[in-house]
A and B are shown apart, each in its own frame.
Chain A
Amino acid sequence: MSCDFSATLLHAYLDGELDAMRASEFERHLETCRECTVTLGSAESLRASLQRAQLYETAPPELRKKIRSKLKISVADASRSPVAVWRWLAAAAAILLVTGVAWFALSNFRSDTPQSVTAAEVIDAHIRSLQAGHLTDVASTDQHTVKPWFDGKLDFIPPVKDFMDEGFPLIGGRLDVLGERNVAALVYGRRKHFINVFVWPTKDADTPIHPPGSRQGYQWVHWRHKGMEFCAVSDVSPQDLHELAQLIIQQ
């Protein structure tokens, strides 16, 4: 690269891994540097191709079976009669299933970032929504209008509640796409600003409200709660976002 910015920074920008200051510095640079603009375009195009090509290869079912049997995950007491073993196995399977479900629902196991949705995508979606006519598909401050509106449009129903009294009036909802899946977007107001709360189902365990991230002057917070994954993004203060996140969790 002949310009001052290294290729490394450009890729960190693409991945949403630059801090807010360096990201905005880089954006100013992009306005005048054609070379970086082209390089960024190529890198984005490459990423889109990789996403489209579906290169992910999942484990064959036999492998899963083989590993389970090697680990003897269904531990049986071989000294019992076959019937007893069978009963015991059924009971063990039921216990495993219950503890498994409970673990997923209750544990605080955490991973650091939303898995397939990047900060960049979330912020892009937020910015897109602010363009004229894009903010809401259903404009209503009534949670009983917004919630049923999602019915049949998604394979899940997001939790919808108005927090007008707490200073976050519900403005409406819309369908959006994040990480190649359909998500619900709930729009809340905060003074004269808008907050997008993206919601989609997850199989991962609950995680607490993640410390806010920041990029291009926007803030976001992320958490998982009761089988739903949430990401709230806005230009309001991180404290405000955190407050809204807590209200949503407590509803």
Chain B
Amino acid sequence: MSTTGQGKDWDVLDSQDRARFEQVVLPHLDAAFNLSRWLLRSRADSEDVAQEALLRAFRFFRGFNGGDARAWLLQIVRNTCYTWLEKNRQVELMTEFDEDLHQQSSATPETLAIAGDNRERLARALETLPVRFREVIILRELEGCSYKEIAAITSVPIGTVMSALARARQRLQRALTQPAQQEAPQ
């Protein structure tokens, strides 16, 4: 035990890190869980994945430079989700992302208002979207992220966020107003 003194210093640093992690990162656990729940479309799986992401975040925490902790954590959560999807549901990641935009949605504000009033239907429509569309909707509409934050979380340029969001909303409107067509298995 000749290095006790040194060991103690490390311990102190460690518990300080933990306290800081608890104050800075853990408050965003709900955001982490919500994102993984919608990316994986499963509460049970996202409990495991959110936990893994938080543990990962803790390991990388010394590399966190003190910016936007929510965006930093959500980026790790998203990566962990994609790794999980690659391993467990590869088909989902290959779903056509670049479909045509020209097919104009026939949705009017009125029909949408009616269709959108059903939470279950809205949730199901959201789940039919390819994961890359789904994530921008979740980040923008549920998490309230700015385009800049979404760009940071998903590691794409802001222009790509804009066009993904435009397409995602159109797809979601179509899924809501033409449920039969959209809910057919891929």
Contact = CB atoms under 8 A, between A and B. Distances in A.
A73 to B, nearest CB: 5
A96 B19 contact: yes
A47 B51 contact: no
Interface string A38-64: 100111111111111111111110011
A63 B116 contact: no
Nearest to B32: A59
Contacts of B144: 115-116, 118, 179
Contacts of B66: 109
Interface in B7-44: 11, 14-15, 18-19, 21-24, 26-27, 29-30, 32-34, 37-38, 43
A49 B173 CA distance: 11
B147 interface: yes
Interface string A54-78: 1111111001101110111101000
Contacts of A49: 112-113, 115-117, 122
Contacts of B19: 73, 96, 99-100
Interface stretch (A8-16, A168-176, A183-191): A8-16
B18 A59 contact: no
B142 interface: yes
Contacts of A96: 19, 22
Given A55-B126, A63-B29, A71-B18, A42 B146 contact: no
Contacts of A15: 140, 147, 165
Chain A contact surface mostly: helix
A100 B22 contact: yes
Interface string B133-162: 000010011101011110000000000001
B34 A60 contact: no
A7 B164 CA distance: 11
Contacts of B27: 203
Interface in A130-183: 179
Contacts of B166: 6-8, 10-11
B68 A58 contact: no
Contacts of A44: 109
A59 B33 contact: yes
Interface of B (DSSP majority class): helix
Interface residues of A, number: 55
Contact of A17 (B50, B137, B146): B146
B66 to A, nearest CB: 7
Interface stretch (B86-94, B100-108, B178-186): B100-108
Which of A12, A17, A42, A50 counts the most chain B CB atoms within 10 A?
Answer: A42
B132 interface: no
Interface in A92-107: 96, 99-100, 103-104
A63 to B, nearest CB: 5
A50 B119 contact: no
A57 B50 CA distance: 13
A10 B108 CA distance: 16
A112 interface: yes
Contact of A56 (B34, B70, B122): B34
A251 interface: no
Contacts of A202: none
A237 interface: no
A58 to B, nearest CB: 4
Nearest to A115: B144
A67 B54 contact: yes
Contact of A109 (B24, B30, B165): B24
Given A59-B34, A112-B68, 10 more contacts: A1-B104, A43-B169, A45-B113, A46-B176, A52-B117, A71-B21, A73-B21, A75-B11, A100-B19, A111-B71
12 contacts: A7-B170, A11-B169, A17-B146, A41-B109, A46-B107, A46-B116, A48-B113, A49-B117, A57-B38, A71-B18, A103-B23, A109-B24
Ranked nearest first, the 6 interchain pairs of A and B with the lowest CB-CB distance are A49-B116, A59-B33, A41-B109, A45-B109, A11-B166, A45-B112
